[in-house]
A and B are shown apart, each in its own frame.
Chain A
Amino acid sequence: MPNLTIDGQQLEVPAGTTIIQAAKKLGISIPHYCYHPALPVAGNCRICMVEVEKQPKLQISCYTPVAEGMVVRTDSPKVLEARKTILEFLLVNHPLDCPVCDQSGECKLQDYYMKHGLYNSRLADVKVKKDKKAFSIGPTVMLDQERCILCTRCVRFTENITKTNELGIFSRGDHSQLDIYPGRQLDNNYSGNVVDICPVGALTDKDFRFKCRVWYLAGTKSICPGCSMGCNITVEWDKSRPHEYKKARVMRLKPRLNTDVNNYWICDKGRYNYHFIDENRILHPQLNDELISLDQALDVMVKTIAPLKEAKRLNRIGVLASAQLTNEDLFVIRKLFKDALPGVGLDFRVPEALGDSDDLLIKADKNPNTAGALSILQPDGDVGAIVQKAKSGELDLLYVFGHDLVKLLGVESVKQIAKSIKLFVFQGSNVHETCSYAHLNLPSSVYAEKEGTFTNCQLRVQRIRTAFPALEDAKADWQIVAMLGEKLGTPLSYKNSQEIFKDLAATIAPFSGMTYESIADQGIVLKA
C-alpha cells in the first residue's frame, strides 16, 4: 500500500487511490466540479489541480493515482493561483443569475469563488449566449444552458447509472451546450438526481422552482417511506415561517449518502412524495360528523373494548396494523393487542398488489417496514379472515391503521363493514375515502413528525427523526395506542420512542444489542 504525504501529513492508502480520495481521508477537501465519487472520471473542469513534487505541471487530483513517496501540496501558491484561473474561465461566460437562480446558497461557483476566488473580473466582452434558457427537458427538470459549466456529471449519470442516455453535449468549443437528444424527455425513474449532482443552477427541479431560498431550510435526517428499500433522505423544511402556499413546511426531500442502501440516489417517486406531509391531513379526532377530543375518542373505544375484555370475548376485536408503521408503533400495538389482550385478531398483511420494481433502488413492496412488522407482530392469523368477520357482523371493533380499505377491498365491502360492525375505527395521517365510512377517525402523525425506526428489505434497521411537531391534534401512532392502553388498565408509560426501542431490543431477539446510538445514521442489519 503506497505511502504518501499531502500538505505535510503522511498516510497510507490502497494502490489505485486517487489523490483527491486520499486527501479526503485526511479531511482535506479539494475543490471539484466534474469529479463525483459515484461516476466515472472526466477530468475536464481542472479545478482540482494540485502540485506534485517533481512534476513540472500541476496534476488533476481526481485522476492521478497515488504513488509511493509522492509529496502533494493542495495549498501552495501555484495551486491557489490555478484555482483562481479556472474559476475565472468558468465565470467568464456564466450569466449573473444569482438573484433569480434556485441554486443560490448551495452553488459551487459561489462557494468556491468566496473561498478560492475573490479576484476582480477582467471580462470586457459580451458573454457567449446559448440556445435555451429556462427550458423544460422533462416532467421534473428545467435546463438553463447558459448556467451550465459543462462538467458532464449529468451526462455521465444518464450514461452509467440509469443507462438511459437522454443527455448529451452538442456543438464544440465555447458554443458547447448541454441538451436533451431530439425527441427525448428526461423522464426515467431517477431524473431528479441530476439536479442534486449539478454543481450550478443549470439543472433545477421544477418542483422546487422559486419556492424557497435554501438558507431558510433546515434539514432532518430520515428514511423514505415509499418502499422497502428505505433510501436515506434529508427532509428539508422551511425553518423561518410556514410557506405562503398552503402553509407547507416541507420544501423538498434530498437523498442522503448511505453506501449500503441507496448510495447517492433516490427515485423520483420517493423524491416528490412529501406533499402528503402538509396536505390533506387528518387534524382532529372525529366521531361520525362531530369533532371531539382525543380523550373523548379513546373513551368511546374503551366503552367497546372493556366489556369484551370482561367477558373474555376479545376475539370480537380485529386490528389491522400496517407495515407503514415504525418498529416502535408496532411494538406498542403488540404489547397491547397481543400480550395484554390475547385473542384479538391482529395482522398487517393486507391484500395489496405488488408495485413496480427495478434493479437499481425501486422495490415492489411499497411499505417501509414489512420486515419489522413480521419480526415484531409475528402474526399467525390472516387479514382475510378478520375482514370476513367484520363484514358478517362477528366483530364489534375493527381498528384500522392507515389502510385505505376502499382501495383494497372495494367500496361495497367497506360499506358492509361500516353497517355490520359496532365500532369502525380508522387511525391515519391523511384523509382518504375510507375515512368517510369509518365511525371514528383518529389523527396520527407522519414519519417526519416522529422518532422511530424502519426495517428495510436488507433487514437494516434505520432511524427516522422528528423534523417538526405534529399538526394540531395528531400524535404518533404509538402514543395513541399507549394512551388507550392506559385507559384499559395496561400501563404503557413510555416517555419517548427511545424507551420503546430499548424495550423492543430486549424483547425481540433479532434486535438485541441495538440502540439508537449504535444505529446512528447508517443503520444496522438485524441479527439472523
Chain B
Amino acid sequence: MEKVVSRHFGQDSTQSFVNYLKDNGYRAARKALTEMTPAGVIDEVKNSNLRGLGGAGFPTGLKWSFIPKDNPKPKYLVVNADEGEPGTFKDKYILEQDPHALIEGIIITCFAIQSHKAYVYVRGEYAKAFGSLQNAVNEAYKAGFLGAGIMGTGFNIDVVVHPGAGAYICGEETGLLESLEGKKGFPRLKPPFPAVVGLFGCPTVINNVETIACVPPIINKGSEWYVQLGCAKNGGNRLFCVSGHVQRPGIYELPLGTPLREIIYDHAGGILKGRQLKAVIPGGISAPVLTPDQIDVKMDFDSLKAIGSMAGSGGVVVMDETTDMVFAAMVAARFFAHESCGQCSPCREGSGWVYRNLKRIYEGTARPYDLINLAGIVNNIGGNTICAFGDAVTMCLSSYVSKFRHEFESKIKGRVCNTN
C-alpha cells in the first residue's frame, strides 16, 4: 500500500525541510501556481473525492467552491490544528514530522480560493508541534516559498501560526474563528456559514491539518490516482489513530474503506493479552460506540453513517472485556461537561446534569428512575443546540446506554422494572 500523508514519518525531523525538498517538495505548489487556474485546482480536488478528515467528512473541493468569487473582501484559509477530539493524535505527527507537507498544502489551497493569508490554529497543549510548525514556516519564508511573490510568481502568501489556550470547543470551526479573533471560543449561530462570513467577517475556508496535507499529492499525481486509493465517494488514505487495549497502538495510514476488524487485528496486533474485544469507538469520542458484531464495517464516512456511527476524526479507541462500560460512559460525560462552552441552555445544564447522573450510577448510588430519566435527558440535548457539540453528547452517551444497558441496570440499587 502506498503511503501518502505519512510517507516522511520516522525520518530525522531536524532534516525535515531538506528531506521534503529532496522528495519533490513544493513541486505541486509550483505546478498549481504556474500551470493551473484556481478553478482548475478546485476541480481537481473535487474530483479526488477528498473529504474533510477533522470529523465531519465534508467534500473538500465542494467546500472550497462555496467561497464567493465576486466578494470584494479578502479571503482567508484557516487550518484547524486544534486536534481536541479524544483518541486523535494524527495532526500532531504531521506537524512534528512533516510540517512542510502542510505548508505546501496551504499554498495550493490559498491559490485555489484566492486567499493571501492563512492562519494555523494549533492547540495550546501542542507546544512541540507549534514549535516545529513555526520553525518550518520560518524555513519556508527564508527559502521563498512563503511571503511576497513566492517561487518567482506574483503570488503573495502569509502564514500565521497561532496557539490556542486549552478548550475543546475551539476546535469547532466557528468557535475557532471566535478564538482567533481574540474572543471567547463561543460557536456562532449558523447561517451565515464561514465560506460567506468567516474570519473577521470575510469568506473563509476552514480545513483540518491532514486534509490540507493531502492536497500536494493530489496535485502531483492527479485526482484519479487519489480516487483509486480509497473507496467509492471517499478517496485516498487516512491516518487511523489506534489506541486502547491493543498490542500495537499508534498511527496507521490505510485506505478509506479498510474494514475495522483489519485495523484492530491485522495492523494493531489484536487485543492485549489475548483478551476479548468488548467495544470500539470508531472516530473520536462523539462517535457512537460499536459492539464486536459491528467491526466488519468499512471505515469510510458513508459506511459508518449507515450503521449509525461516524468516521469522525479517525480516532479508534479499542476497549476489551475488562472495561466497565458505565465507567467509559461516565468519562465521556465528564469530558463533555468539562468542555461545554456554556452558551446554550440544553448543553450547558444538560451536560453537567447527565454527568452527575452517570456518576451516581457508576458509584452505585442511583435509583431505577435515574436510568429511566437518563435516556430522556440525554435525548433532549441534541438537536436543540447552537453547534454540533450538543448532538455529540446525545449520540455518544445514548449509544452506551442502549448497547450496554444491562451493565447500567446491574449498577442500579433496587429492582429494575422492564423498561423499553
**What B residues does A57 contact at CB under 8 A?**
383-384
| B348 x A58 contact (CB < 8 A) | no
| A43 x B386 contact (CB < 8 A) | yes
**What B residues does A82 contact at CB under 8 A?**
384
| A89 x B373 contact (CB < 8 A) | no
How far, in angstroms, from A93 to B353 measured CA to CA in the complex?
A: 9
B367 in the interface (beta carbon within 8 A): yes
How far, in angstroms, from A122 to B368 measured CA to CA in the complex?
A: 12
How far, in angstroms, from A125 to B363 measured CA to CA in the complex?
A: 13
**What A residues does B139 contact at CB under 8 A?**
none
Q: A63-B189, A122-B377 are in contact. Are A45 and B345 (CB under 8 A)?
A: yes
Shortest CB distance B412–A (Å): 12
Shortest CB distance A445–B (Å): 48
Q: Chain B's interface: helix, strand, loop or mixed, by majority?
A: helix
- Which B residue's beta carbon lies closest to that of A174? B352
B337 in the interface (beta carbon within 8 A): yes
Shortest CB distance A164–B (Å): 18
B158 in the interface (beta carbon within 8 A): no
| A45 x B337 contact (CB < 8 A) | no
| 8 Å CB interface, A111-168 against B | 122-126, 128, 149-150
A176 in the interface (beta carbon within 8 A): yes
| B380 x A85 contact (CB < 8 A) | yes
| B346 x A173 contact (CB < 8 A) | no
**What B residues does A45 contact at CB under 8 A?**
344-345
Instruction: Give the contacting residue for B349; candidates A60, A90, A126; CB below 8 A.
Output: A90
Instruction: Give the contacting residue for A173; candidates B341, B370, B376, B380; CB below 8 A.
Output: B341
Q: Chain A's interface: helix, strand, loop or mixed, by majority?
A: loop
How far, in angstroms, from A171 to B352 measured CA to CA in the complex?
A: 14
- Which A residue's beta carbon lies closest to that of B382? A57
A254 in the interface (beta carbon within 8 A): no
Shortest CB distance A170–B (Å): 10
| A125 x B386 contact (CB < 8 A) | no
A49 in the interface (beta carbon within 8 A): yes
Q: How many chain A residues touch B (Cβ–Cβ < 8 Å)?
A: 34
**What A residues does B352 contact at CB under 8 A?**
93, 128, 173-174
- Which B residue's beta carbon lies closest to that of A62? B189
| B386 x A44 contact (CB < 8 A) | yes
| B344 x A173 contact (CB < 8 A) | no
| A174 x B189 contact (CB < 8 A) | no
A172 in the interface (beta carbon within 8 A): yes
Shortest CB distance A397–B (Å): 68
Instruction: Give the contacting residue for B384; candidates A46, A63, A123, A128; CB below 8 A.
Output: A46
Shortest CB distance A40–B (Å): 11
Q: Give a binary string over A92-106; 1 marks a CB under 8 Å from any B CB, 0 the rest.
A: 110000000000000
**What B residues does A409 contact at CB under 8 A?**
none
| B348 x A46 contact (CB < 8 A) | no
How far, in angstroms, from A44 to B187 measured CA to CA in the complex?
A: 11
Q: Give a binary string over B321-358; 1 marks a CB under 8 Å from any A CB, 0 the rest.
A: 00000000000000001111111111011111100110
How far, in angstroms, from A337 to B406 measured CA to CA in the complex?
A: 94
How far, in angstroms, from A48 to B375 measured CA to CA in the complex?
A: 24
- Which A residue's beta carbon lies closest to that of B381? A89
- Which A residue's beta carbon lies closest to that of B338? A173
B360 in the interface (beta carbon within 8 A): yes
Shortest CB distance B307–A (Å): 20
Max chain B Cβ within 10 angstroms of own Cβ: one of A92, A124, A126, A173 = A173
- Which A residue's beta carbon lies closest to that of B356? A125
**What A residues does B370 contact at CB under 8 A?**
124
Instruction: Give the contacting residue for A86; candidates B338, B339, B345; CB below 8 A.
Output: B345
B385 in the interface (beta carbon within 8 A): yes
How far, in angstroms, from A78 to B352 measured CA to CA in the complex?
A: 24
Shortest CB distance A518–B (Å): 43
B137 in the interface (beta carbon within 8 A): no
B81 in the interface (beta carbon within 8 A): no
A88 in the interface (beta carbon within 8 A): yes
Q: A63-B189, A88-B380, A173-B337 are in contact. Are A150 and B348 (CB under 8 A)?
A: yes
**What A residues does B167 contact at CB under 8 A?**
172
Q: A85-B380, A128-B352 are in contact. Are A46 and B340 (CB under 8 A)?
A: no
Q: Give a binary string over A238-253; 1 marks a CB under 8 Å from any B CB, 0 the rest.
A: 0000000000000000
| B346 x A85 contact (CB < 8 A) | yes
| A173 x B348 contact (CB < 8 A) | yes
Shortest CB distance A172–B (Å): 5
- Which A residue's beta carbon lies closest to that of B343? A44
Instruction: Give the contacting residue for B360; candidates A49, A58, A88, A125; CB below 8 A.
Output: A125
| Additional pairs, 10, CB under 8 Å, beyond known A46-B385, A89-B349, A150-B342 | A43-B344, A44-B344, A44-B386, A88-B380, A89-B380, A124-B360, A125-B360, A150-B343, A173-B348, A176-B342
8 contacts between A and B (CB under 8 A): A45-B344, A46-B346, A89-B380, A90-B345, A124-B367, A169-B184, A173-B342, A174-B352
User: 4 nearest interchain CB pairs?
Assistant: A174-B352, A176-B342, A173-B340, A89-B349
